Amino acid sequence: MTKVLTVIGTRPQFIKAAAVARAIKQHGGIQEVLLHTGQHYDDAMSDIFFREMDLPKPDYHFSINTSTHATMTAQMLEGIEQAIIKEKPDTVLVYGDTNSTLAGALAASKLHVPVAHVEAGLRSFYMDMPEEVNRILTDRLSTQLFCPTEVAMQNLKNEGLTEPDRLVVNTGDVMYDAALYYAKQSAKKSDIVQKLGLKKDGYLLATFHRAENTDNKERLEAIVKAINTLAKEHTIVLPLHPRTRKMMEQFHLKLNCMVIDPVGYFDMLSLLQNSHLVLTDSGGLQKEAYFFHKYCIILRDQTEWVELTQAGCSVLAGAVKEHILHGVANMYNKQFINGNIFYGNGKASALICQHLVK
C-alpha cells in the first residue's frame, strides 16, 4: 500500500483534490492522508467544498491564513513537517501554485520525501506574481511532475527539468475530470440561477480576486469602472471574494451589478453553464469557461493557459477599461469553437494514481 500525504489549502485545490481522492478510492492501492493548511478557511471558501464534493475530513487541519506570504509559508512549513515526520508517507502530493503548495514541497524535500506536483509546468513568465514563484520552486523540488498540457511539458523541457530521475508526464487536467463529474450533480443540486431570477445565456459571470488587481487601486478602479459600464447594458453576476470586498471598501469603490457572496462549486458550475460570457482573473475559471464553451475575458496581463488565448477562446484585457469593454463587445455575439482538445480526456486523476504507486 502506497501512502500519500496530500497538502491542500485553497478553494481550487479542494476541487482538484476531490477528483484525485475519488480516483484514489477507486484504485484501492493508495492510502491518502489529507492535510488542510487553512489558507482558505471560512464556510464559503472551504467547508462547503468538503460537504458538496464528498472530500474526506482532513486528518490535519491548521488555521494559517492571516499573515504575510513569508510568515504564512513558515508556519505551514512547521506544521507540515511535523505531519510528515509522524505519517512517514511515500510521497507528498501538492497542487497548483499557492503558499500551501510551496510549503508542502519544501517540507517534504527537506525530509527527503519525494514530491508529486499536480499542475506542474505552468508559467505566466511574470515573476511579480507570487504564484509564479511558487510554481517554479515547487517544480524544482518535485520528482513527479504531472502536467496538464503539452505547453506545460515544453516549459519544463525548456528549463531542463526532464532529467532521468524525474517523472514528467502529460496527464491531462484534473479540473477537467472534476468539471465533467460534478456538472451532472450541479444540474440537480443547484437552484441558484432560479433563485437569482436569471435567464439562461442572459448574463455575464464575473470574478476577480488576485492581489495584482485587488491591492492596486488603479487596477481595481479600472476593473470596477469597466464592470459598472457593462452593467448598464448587461446583467452581471459577481460572486465577491472576501479580499476583493475588503479592498473595495478600503478604496471606497462600489459595484453597480448583481454582487453576491462567494458560492460553492455546484452553484458556481451552474452559474457558469448558464452564463453568456465570463470575465475573470482566476486561472481555474478560465479553463472551466472553456470546458463549457464560454468565451472568457481575462482580467490579467498574462496567463499560464496560453493555449486558450492562442486558440481565440479567451482574450487578455488586463485591468484596462477600454480593453475589457472591447473584449466583451468582440466576443459577445461570436459562436464558440467547440472541442476540448487541450486538457486530456477526463481521466487525469486515474493516470496520476497509476504513477503514484509505481
Q: What Cα–Cα distance (Å) separates residue 330 from each residue in 222, 238, 289, 294, 336? A: 19, 21, 17, 13, 12
User: Which helix (H) or strand (E) segment is 92 a member of?
Assistant: strand 91-95
Contact by Cβ (8 Å): 61, 36: yes
CA distance 100 to 158: 26
CA distance 173 to 119: 7
Q: What Cα–Cα distance (Å) separates residue 312 from each residue in 106, 258, 293, 295, 334? A: 37, 28, 12, 9, 11
User: Which helix (H) or strand (E) segment is 144 a member of?
Assistant: strand 144-147
- Residue from 117, 209, 241, 276 carrying the catalytic annotation: 209
Q: What's the burial of 229, exposed, middle or buried (CB within 10 Å: 0-12/13-18/19+)?
A: middle
Contact by Cβ (8 Å): 342, 308: yes
Work out the widest C-alpha separation in the chain, in whole angstroms: 59
The angle that helices 283-291 and 11-27 make with each other, rounded to 10 degrees, is 60
Contact by Cβ (8 Å): 114, 107: no
Q: Which amino acid is at 164?
A: P
Q: Is 209 a catalytic residue?
A: yes
* C-alpha count within 13 angstroms, C-beta hemisphere, residue 241: 18
Beta-bridged to residue 237, according to DSSP, are: 205, 258
Q: What Cα–Cα distance (Å) separates residue 60 from each residue in 5, 19, 32, 73, 80? A: 10, 19, 12, 16, 9
User: Which helix (H) or strand (E) segment is 87 a member of?
Assistant: helix 69-87
Catalytic residues: 209
